[in-house]
Amino acid sequence: MGLLRREQRARLAGAATAAGTRAYTQRWGAALDRGHYSDFRGGLKLSALGLGTFPGAATDAVDRSLADIVHKGLLNGLNVIDTAAHYRYGRSLKAVAQGLGRARADGLQRDMVWLMSKGGFVSFPDGPPADVAAFVREAIVGRGLASAEECTDAHVLSPTYLRAQIEDSRAGLGVETLDAFLVDQPEVHIPSRGKAAVVAKLGEVFTALEEAVAEGVIRYYGVSSFHAFRVATDDSWFLSLASLVALAEKAAKAVTGSETDHHFALIEMPFNAVMLEGFTRFNQITGDDSEASTLQAALRLKLYTVASHGLFKGHLAREPVEILTQALPRFANPAQRALQFNRSTPGLGTTLVGMSDPAHLDDMLAVARAPLLSHSAYMGLFDRTE
């Protein structure tokens, strides 16, 4: 049994495809700059700006606003939607489903849209409980979804619990298949359990996710992190991309018999004009033993990179970055300049912008219509800081 109360209804079949996303760019993205779409595995086209669904109170008014944002965004060239089983106590899933349903009524097809969810943080279907530890003991450990050792505070790193959150995400969105499911911030277990134990547990999780792929409930999986991909190599929070790929290869071999056919395909981390570590910190080692930034290493390892915190929780929409103000005068405000910086970053696939106010969508669409910065112009922004 899943964690969220959900209605019994037919689920929308299918998933994003190369043909569908190409058709999307030609119809719904025709007014946008042609560089606005990034290439994912198998020829899929994903918008360089995506809709995040974390912000906002758990109210009917925010549900309506979020549904409006999803509807309008999908009909204006933004075909990436990021959500999670725990966002707004499960309400974000249903709001996305409403917006998606309205877009489908306007002609959008399921195979044109990339739907991505996450799991790991505890879902509270009735809002935050008075005693989180008691809730975890009763609703998760007591129901056999995880052992006590797999839980820390309000986060659970358990294959069984994550599979339950996949089911909650599918049910809340009303779809048969998620395009991607990400393990959200597994590094939060490192302080209490140690890195070796967390990496070993991720191996078990990846095996469960490869099984989910084989069953058709997800297409790809990945890891979303706040610290692990930005910190220095010797930091206790650090996770190696090459090691994660090795775990995925082992998991795929256990499930399909072929280690080369794994479905670990993407990572997510904060990146913006003031959180630059993914581009500037050389903390990863790839197969050729050379040092690389996380963005560079992801490209070499064929991993798609998604940026969270595109506007640094709204700070970059309110507080201008002087270098961007000088270099990008044609853009109307700090938010647009910050988004143009991100979408022009080499190796970065999609930048997410979380919002609950439909008015903020206008800034995203204004940037999506503009040409990307050239590589030399982008690198010139860093030269100005030296």
Q: Which two tokens stand for residue 368?
A: 């999506």
pLDDT single digits (tens) 78-94: 999 999 999 999 999 99
The candidate with the shortest Cα–Cα distance to 226, out of 282, 294, 133, is: 294
User: DSSP alpha helices (H): ranges in the chain?
Assistant: 18-27, 60-74, 91-105, 132-135, 159-173, 190-193, 195-215, 241-256, 277-280, 294-300, 315-318, 322-327, 334-343, 361-368, 375-383
pLDDT at 384: 56
Reported confidence tier of residue 126, pLDDT bands at 50, 70, 90:
confident
Q: What share of the chain has pLDDT > 90, as a percent?
A: 91
Paired residues of 307 in beta bridges = 269, 351
Q: Which residue has the tokens 């195979």?
A: 111
CA distance 341 to 322: 13
Give yes or no for a contact between 305 and 321, defined as CB atoms under 8 angstroms apart. Answer: no
Q: What share of the chain has pLDDT > 70, as a percent?
A: 97
Give yes or no for a contact between 50 and 306, defined as CB atoms under 8 angstroms apart. Answer: yes
First to last CA, the chain: 56
Q: Which CA distances in Å does 351 have to 257, 312, 339, 367, 385?
A: 35, 11, 8, 12, 23
Q: Is the pLDDT of residue 253 over 50?
A: yes
pLDDT at 5: 44
Q: Is the pLDDT of residue 1 over 60?
A: no
pLDDT single digits (tens) 274-333: 999 999 999 999 877 789 999 999 999 999 999 999 999 889 999 999 999 999 999 999
The whole-model pTM stands at 0.95
Q: Which two tokens stand for residue 300?
A: 């070499």
Q: Is the pLDDT of residue 237 over 50?
A: yes
pLDDT single digits (tens) 346-385: 999 999 999 888 878 999 999 999 999 999 999 999 875 4
Q: What angle do CA 368, 369, 375 make, to 5 degrees?
A: 70
Reported confidence tier of residue 34, pLDDT bands at 50, 70, 90:
confident
pLDDT at 3: 52
- The domain 18-383 is placed in CATH, from the list 3.50.50.60, 3.30.450.20, 2.40.10.220, 3.20.20.100, at 3.20.20.100
Give yes or no for a contact between 47 and 112, defined as CB atoms under 8 angstroms apart. Answer: no
CA distance 205 to 202: 5
The candidate with the shortest Cα–Cα distance to 70, out of 84, 61, 83, 60, is: 83
Reported confidence tier of residue 210, pLDDT bands at 50, 70, 90:
very high
